[in-house]
């Protein structure tokens, strides 16, 4: 029985490699240089597939992959249907934040009950956050470069991932609210876990052992 693991390129792939190594799995090609989307490993019964970060939950949900690694940001937007999430891998850590232009008085705008225009890739997360605060928002869906939106009048605020804050600063924006801390999770197809438990459980246990606090 073949085990398929869905990963995205970049930080998730890099930070997942040591965890795979702990389970005795190593990639035979580097997805950054290879054009292959199916990457073989040292184990005949394990292969990696390379997908967009936001597509990882979908591949696992439908069983096209047995396992995957996805950010909490992506999982919140997906909703998690059909996914078992046994492990916080504590990798790709950052924070989901509300940010505004540095001269914008966010507190006053919120207090006055102003209707905020918020641009984001994370519409679900943003909707829940502002609804819980009782703030009225018009959400504008973007697919990237959220920092640009307030600079050209598309929105008053953005909801985006922040790690160092360097990109916000470079664009004259400030973070005004943390929505939630973000890290990547191991996701498992629920049917796979039942059918392939003998192979999957030891892998999950090895990942758990290797997670850095």
Q: Where does this chain touch ligand ATP (CB under 6 A) — which range of 17-25, 30-38, 92-100, 151-159?
A: 92-100
C-alpha dihedral (29, 26, 90, 157), degrees to nearest 10: 10
Q: How, if at all, do strands 67-71 and 184-189 pair?
A: antiparallel
Residue 28 · residue 85 · CB < 8 Å = no
Residue 56 or 110: the one with the smaller Cβ distance to ligand ATP is 56
The distance of closest approach from Cβ of residue 59 to ligand ATP in the complex, given in angstroms and rounded to an integer, is 14
Q: Where does this chain touch ligand ATP (CB under 6 A) — which range of 39-47, 89-97, 98-106, 187-195?
A: 89-97
The distance of closest approach from Cβ of residue 171 to ligand ATP in the complex, given in angstroms and rounded to an integer, is 14
Q: Which residue has the tokens 């990798």?
A: 91
Q: Which residue has the tokens 């069983």?
A: 63
Using CB under 6 A, pick the residue from 19, 20, 51, 74 that binds ligand ATP. 74
Q: Site mask, ligand ATP, residues 111-130, x = CB under 6 A? A: --------------------
> What is the number of other CB atoms lying within 10 angstroms of the CB of residue 75?
20
For ligand ATP (CB under 6 A), the number of binding residues is: 18
Q: Where does this chain touch ligand ATP (CB under 6 A) — which range of 9-17, 81-89, 133-141, 200-208?
A: 9-17
Q: Euclidean distance between the first and final Cα of the chain, in Å? A: 32
The distance of closest approach from Cβ of residue 36 to ligand ATP in the complex, given in angstroms and rounded to an integer, is 17
Q: Site mask, ligand ATP, residues 159-178, x = CB under 6 A? A: --x-x---------------
Residue 77 · residue 174 · CB < 8 Å = no
C-alpha distances out from residue 89 to 40, 41, 49, 62, 65, Å:
22, 21, 19, 22, 18
**What is the C-alpha separation between 131 and 198, in angstroms, rounded?**
43
Binding residues (CB under 6 A) for ligand ATP: these are 8, 10-12, 52-54, 71, 73-74, 92-94, 144, 161, 163, 182, 184
């Amino acid at each position: 029985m073949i085990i398929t693991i869905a990963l995205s390129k970049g930080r998730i792939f890099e930070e997942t490699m040591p965890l795979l190594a702990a389970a005795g799995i190593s990639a035979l090609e580097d997805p950054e240089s290879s054009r292959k989307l199916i990457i073989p490993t040292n184990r005949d019964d394990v292969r990696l597939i390379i997908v967009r970060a936001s597509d990882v939950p979908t591949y696992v949900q439908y069983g096209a992959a047995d396992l995957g690694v996805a950010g909490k940001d992506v999982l919140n937007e997906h909703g998690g249907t059909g996914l078992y999430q046994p492990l916080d891998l504590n990798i790709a850590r950052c924070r989901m934040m509300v940010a505004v232009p540095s001269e914008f008085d966010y507190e006053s705008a919120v207090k006055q009950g102003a209707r905020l225009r918020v641009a984001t890739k994370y519409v679900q997360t943003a909707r829940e956050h502002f609804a819980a605060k009782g703030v009225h928002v018009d959400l504008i869906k973007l697919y990237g470069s959220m920092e640009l939106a307030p600079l050209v009048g598309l929105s008053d605020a953005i909801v985006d991932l922040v790690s160092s804050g360097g990109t916000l600063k470079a664009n004259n924006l400030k973070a005004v609210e943390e929505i939630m801390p973000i890290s990547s999770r191991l996701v498992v197809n629920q049917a796979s876990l039942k059918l392939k438990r003998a192979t999957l459980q030891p892998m999950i246990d090895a990942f758990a052992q290797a997670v850095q606090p």
